[in-house]
Amino acid sequence: MTKIMVTGGAGFIGSTLVPKLLELGNKVVVVDNFSRGSREFLPSLPELEIYDADIRDTKEIERLAQGCSTVVHLAAFGSVVESVSEPTENFSVNVEGTFSVLKAAKSSGVQKLIFACTGGALIGNALPPVNERSVPRPISPYGASKLAGEGYCCSFAHAYGMDITSLRFANVIGPQSLHKKGAVTNFFKSIIDSQPIVIYGDGSATRDFLYVDDLCQGIINGIQSNLSGFNVFHLASEKEVSVKQLAELCIEVSGHANHPIIFEPKRDGEVDRNCASSLVASESLGFVPKCDIRDGLVKTWDWFNANYSGQ
């Protein structure tokens, strides 16, 4: 039985990943400060340990990582828009926090670390589809913080002989994402609240949407791989969808025909287009997304409709 630490394990992605790791026979240590995550999304099992801790507390993370073979580092300040208004906090959590986790993992003898990165925000404005050879030019503090974190991951892999994989996530959708600062969450909340859907810009901006179960399988494949040193992979659906198309799909799957959409000025820091190739992840990790965007939105809507009671 393998012991795996998941930072941010009570968040949207973490609370989906942790039960899957337990089902595979692993012991799991969740570290979360519960600023946005929730204990209610995690099972109560003897194989699961849950700790309220900040990833910037290196000594505490080092203590909790004892006996773990792998760390999955999901904890992050994850909003592009909020990173523009709060760049210092974004830097503290994403850069200093990642350095702290890396240092604790090294000191605790952890050999393997999976780093949750981003494709769009890290690369910046580039002609899609981007891939692992695309040159990063982030246009938001969030993207810059993830590029810095990836740089430290690369350096720790080479300097200390650790096996570190950076997984660049597409825009993730799915249940248990109520606290997520993303378009799908905002759109479904607006529909339930009988408020217009707000699109920032003219709706032509594009994103690559990936269902959370597919993403988690990619993370598991990364954990189970025999890759050595530092590696980078894009986990993406390879389907470019405009924000306007996304809003129309959300309205369609919710059954609220003719729900109003309004347009506001584009926000700073957000990329114009975002879509990535997952060919390298497919070849090296066996990563193959199974859920298309419509099915993913149906599952997400069903969860929001059952769990979100309104403003």
Could you give the residue numbers annotated as active site? 142
Residue of 181, 170, 175 whose CA lies nearest to 207: 170
Q: How far apart are CA 113 and CA 174, in angstroms?
A: 24
Strands 27-32 and 3-7: parallel
Number of neighbouring beta carbons within 10 Å of residue 169: 25
Spatial strand order of the sheet with 70-73 comes to: 48-52, 27-32, 3-7, 70-73, 112-118, 163-169, 230-235
Q: How far apart are CA 186 and CA 198, in angstroms?
A: 8
Amino acid at 92: S
Distances (CA, A) of 175 to 13, 46, 74, 242, 294: 9, 25, 17, 21, 14
Residues shown for the chain: 311
Q: How far apart are CA 152 and CA 160, in angstroms?
A: 11
User: Long-range contact list for 297-302, CB < 8 A, 24+ apart?
Assistant: 297/173, 297/184, 297/249, 297/250, 297/253, 298/253, 299/174, 299/175, 299/211, 300/173, 300/174, 300/175, 300/177, 300/184, 300/188, 301/188, 301/250, 301/253, 301/254, 302/175
Number of neighbouring beta carbons within 10 Å of residue 204: 12
Q: What is the phi/psi pair of residue 221, to 5°?
A: -60, -35
